[in-house]
Amino acid sequence: EQQYVPAEIEPKWQNLWEETGLYRTREDANRPHYYCLEMFPYPSGKLHMGHVRVYSIGDVVARVKRMQGYNVLHPMGWDAFGMPAENAAIQHGVHPRLWTYENIDHMRQQQKRLGVSYDWEREVTTCAPDYYKFTQWMFLLFYHRGLAYKKKAAVNWCPQCVTVLANEQVENGRCWRCGTEVTKRELEQWFLRITDYADRLLEDLDQLDRWPERVKVMQRNWIGRSTGAEVEFALEGRPETIRVFTTRPDTLLGVTYMVLAPEHPLVPALIEHSSERNRVEAFVEEMRKASEVERTAADGEKRGVFTGTYAIHPLTGDRVPIWVANYVLLDYGTGAVMGVPAHDERDFAFAKKYNLPIRVVIRPQDQELPTPPTEAYVEDGVLVNSGRWDGMHNREAIQVITAHLEEMGKGRFATSYRIRDWLISRQRYWGAPIPIVYCDHCGIVPVPEDQLPVRLPEDVSFEPGTVSPLATNEDFVQTTCPKCGGPGRRETDTMDTFMCSSWYYFRYTSPKETARPFDPEAVRKWLPVDDYIGGIEHAVLHLLYSRFFTKVLQDAGWVDFSEPFRHLLTQGMVIKEGAKMSKSKGNVVSPDDIINRYGADTARLFILFAAPPDRDLEWSDQGVEGSHRFLHRVWRLVNQNREVFHAPAGDQMAPAARELHRKTHATIKKVTEDFAERYTFNTGISAIMELVNAIYAYPAEADPFTKAAAIRTVLLLLAPAAPHICEELWSQIGGTGSVHQQPWPTYDPAELVTDEVEYAVQVNGKVRDHIVVSASAGEEEVRQTALGAEKIQEWTGGKRVVKVIVVPKKLVNIVVKG
Ligand code: ANZ
Ligand code: ZN
């Protein structure tokens, strides 16, 4: 008898699969297409268990779908631009390109060792010129559609990474990568107009019924649409107006002051002749230095100064004092608010602190508010102190008052968004150069498509500074203007790497295209992606940007759908001793070690078995051992039963055979649903384990044919999760071809019905016995069996049977008299 030695069989089959091109994408016109995609990794150096988890999940789905007869696209690639490569260059003097490609080679090797069924002929690498050429192409597409523009703005700056960051890359005021507190800088930068797509990005979330609700909520909040009104306040003694955005125009008559953001462009003019000028200027200066975190923390102190100037209330004509305060942000709404302390918590705190009047204009339907109010009343209610609108419900008043303002030309219905345009310039080397030339004659000139790619120069200084390293290579910078042929200077910033990852899933469909980013015909066949598997950390970064790209490509006629990912599966973390694996915690388990010790099949099986995919998975050495033992059990099952595969059929109607046959079909049903519909791989695997137990318990003398079928089924069902051992055993039992090319087993629903049914039998309402009859037995057969049962006859003997009631599949009640 042969031993199970993963280190022998795994490389053997991996090489054979590669030689025969087993996982090359099949494009059979008669079969449906299926696109199973795992988020491509950053080539950081080596795989961690989180990677192993995502790839194992994706691989099961891809393999099941292939066996189910689909053409399956299951590709892999590298999100290969980004800062760690550059930091390695600075720290160790190795060129980012070398560092990156070495890491890719190593990680690809690890993925191959895991036995993941990728079509390696479609591999994409975002730092390769034949790829970033089209990232630049995408930039130009946005540019020519008016969706890429340059502006000077106060942008997020990470002093540690020495580059600007998109808003999406700032988490609680800190850099998403290194955790350093982000500061503000005034810089000319390139932006993509994602705000033009805010409504569609928001509304189309409703179509995504197979996305986790959590991710959709995060995107909704990020987009942050608020509806309300813009109200215009005239200024005392000045021609300008202050526009405010409010969600509560119903509280307009409760306004007792106004607030401008410290950076509001009107502030300098407003205070020019004010007695408060010096105090305001000092305050503004102080605020400029403070971070956004400090300024807007909900529990933070509200601080402000009076400007010494007044606005005019649009309805009452009253003078309203104008303040500057820390809690109003320049880039939300209009950068100005109307202060309604009676109905807004922040305004209430501010008014209390600075002794500003508090004017109640909404109260609960049937209740007075205390005077003076002790807190802001923020609920709905009816209007008071509001003249002709007194008594009106405030929801109605929102409409009525806005309409009234509109008529007077002092306001309008308005919508505000929290999302900002996407800042894509980075002052770093290892990214796709922005394909723009600056010319003294022609201004900003996009590089023509036929001159792409704008290649990254090899030779630059990596020393971090305030400008991009590209600026240190004069040969790169100096160029000719594509428009007039005169001298031009290249843009030296590179693109945010999230631009590279926003379209890679299109590229896999036709990765060898040289004239365009992808073949639209191929994209039509494969997309939207059927399953997209990856981390929740991308909820508002990659996943939002990819949706944006898809909509722009749709508008440009390149694709005919608006959402790229049909089903999103966000896998949980792999944790050990209750914490995410990390070097600092010292709880890292290396995939290589596990594969060396137990083989890839055990690693995959354990990871799939230990938790449902969306939950955190607690690493357990005993669990790994358990999975390994199970594979040994499967190995022995085949090796100790070699004879059944050749034996003649026996009595297939005998109870043991019938039961194993039924169990086999029930397992096929369960595993099919778990692997291909519910994505609960853990319960699917445990069903296979139960079937293995049942085969072990199957009597030696029972029908060998049924046993052989059950074992074959185990190998077919287990193949997607543990592909090497199943392939090996399949060949040992003389199966034709690869186990991975077999049709997925199907079940007969009729076989699932348990053959026998148990009835409780009552006599005059008391259970006296149980009988077992065939499931197909009719009512009369059930009745006769019940009446004939020995124990029942003890109770009915000598009495008159008045009535027999049969409740199908449950109960027989016999009513007797005498
Ligand atoms: C008057 C008012 C009265 C307000 C009231 C609220 C309650 P959301 O829902 O987040 O969109 N606001 C507007 N622009 C602001 C800015 N740049 N910085 C800080 N706060 C700003 O919030 C909209 C509300 O936030 C607006 O409605 C405004 O205060 C404030 F009883 O206006 B409200
Ligand atoms: Zn020019």
Per-residue pLDDT, averaged over 106-123, amounts to 97
**pLDDT for the residue numbered 465:** 66
Q: How far apart are the C-alpha atoms of 812 and 768, rounded to whole Å?
A: 10
pTM for this entry: 0.86
Ligand 1 centroid to Cα of residue 175, in Å, is: 27
Q: How far apart are the C-alpha atoms of 389 and 409, rounded to whole Å?
A: 19
Ligand number nearest to the C-alpha of 256: 1
**pLDDT for the residue numbered 388:** 94
Ligand 1 mutation pick, 332, 346, 359, 369, max ligand atoms within 8 A of CB: 332
User: Residue 469 corresponds to which amino acid?
Assistant: P
Q: How far apart are the C-alpha atoms of 163 and 170, rounded to whole Å?
A: 12
Give the residue whose CA is nearest to atom 32 of ligand 1: 246
For the beta carbon of residue 486, count every other beta carbon within 10 angstroms: 11
CB 816 within 8 Å of CB 796: yes
Q: How far apart are the C-alpha atoms of 326 and 296, rounded to whole Å?
A: 7
CB 258 within 8 Å of CB 337: yes
**pLDDT for the residue numbered 582:** 81
Ligand 2 centroid to Cα of residue 485, in Å, is: 6
Ligand 1 mutation pick, 202, 227, 247, 267, max ligand atoms within 8 A of CB: 247
Mean confidence (pLDDT) of the chain: 93
For the beta carbon of residue 276, count every other beta carbon within 10 angstroms: 17
pLDDT of 755 over the 80 cut? no
**pLDDT for the residue numbered 295:** 65
**pLDDT for the residue numbered 291:** 63
Q: How far apart are the C-alpha atoms of 287 and 284, rounded to whole Å?
A: 5
Q: What sign has the CA pseudo-torsion 492, 498, 501, 503? A: negative
Ligand 1 mutation pick, 242, 245, 343, 358, max ligand atoms within 8 A of CB: 245
ipTM of the assembly? 0.95
Q: What single-letter DSSP state applies at residue 674? A: I
Q: What angle do CA 354, 360, 363 make, to 5 degrees?
A: 140
Ligand 2 centroid to Cα of residue 207, in Å, is: 46
User: Residue 510 corresponds to which amino acid?
Assistant: S
- 268-280 pLDDT per residue, tens: 999 999 999 999 9
Pairing of strands 336-339, 319-325: unpaired
Ligand number nearest to the C-alpha of 244: 1
Residues 753-778, buried b or exposed e (16+ Cβ, 10 A)? eeeebebebbbeeeebbebebeeebe
pLDDT of 416 over the 60 cut? yes
pLDDT of 754 over the 70 cut? no
Ligand 2 centroid to Cα of residue 483, in Å, is: 5
**pLDDT for the residue numbered 778:** 79
pLDDT of 346 over the 70 cut? yes
| Assigned token pair, 723 | 């592909």
State the pLDDT confidence band at 153, using cuts at 50, 70 and 90.
confident
- 699-738 pLDDT per residue, tens: 999 999 999 999 999 999 999 999 999 999 999 998 889 9
pLDDT of 298 over the 60 cut? no
Per-residue pLDDT, averaged over 430-436, amounts to 97
- 520-561 pLDDT per residue, tens: 999 999 999 999 999 888 888 999 999 999 999 999 999 999
Per-residue pLDDT, averaged over 236-257, amounts to 96
pLDDT of 411 over the 60 cut? yes
Pairing of strands 811-817, 579-580: unpaired
| Residue 68, SS3 per DSSP | coil
Q: How large a percentage of the chain has pLDDT more than 90?
A: 79
- 5-19 pLDDT per residue, tens: 999 999 999 999 999
pLDDT of 438 over the 90 cut? yes
pLDDT of 294 over the 60 cut? yes
Q: How far apart are the C-alpha atoms of 179 and 405, rounded to whole Å?
A: 46
CB 756 within 8 Å of CB 775: yes
User: Residue 440 corresponds to which amino acid?
Assistant: D
**pLDDT for the residue numbered 466:** 65
State the pLDDT confidence band at 405, using cuts at 50, 70 and 90.
very high
Q: What single-letter DSSP state applies at residue 393? A: B
Ligand 1 centroid to Cα of residue 76, in Å, is: 46
**Nearest in space to 176 (alpha carbons), one of 616, 538, 469:** 538
Q: Can you spell out the DSSP letters for 643-659?
A: GGGTSPP--TTSHHHHH
CB 446 within 8 Å of CB 435: yes
Ligand number nearest to the C-alpha of 347: 1
Atom of ligand 1 nearest to the CA of 330: 17
User: Residue 85 corresponds to which amino acid?
Assistant: A
Write the CA distances from 284 to 103, 268, 277, integer angstroms: 48, 10, 11
Per-residue pLDDT, averaged over 650-674, amounts to 92
State the pLDDT confidence band at 208, using cuts at 50, 70 and 90.
very high
pLDDT of 87 over the 90 cut? no
Atom of ligand 1 nearest to the CA of 331: 17
**pLDDT for the residue numbered 536:** 87
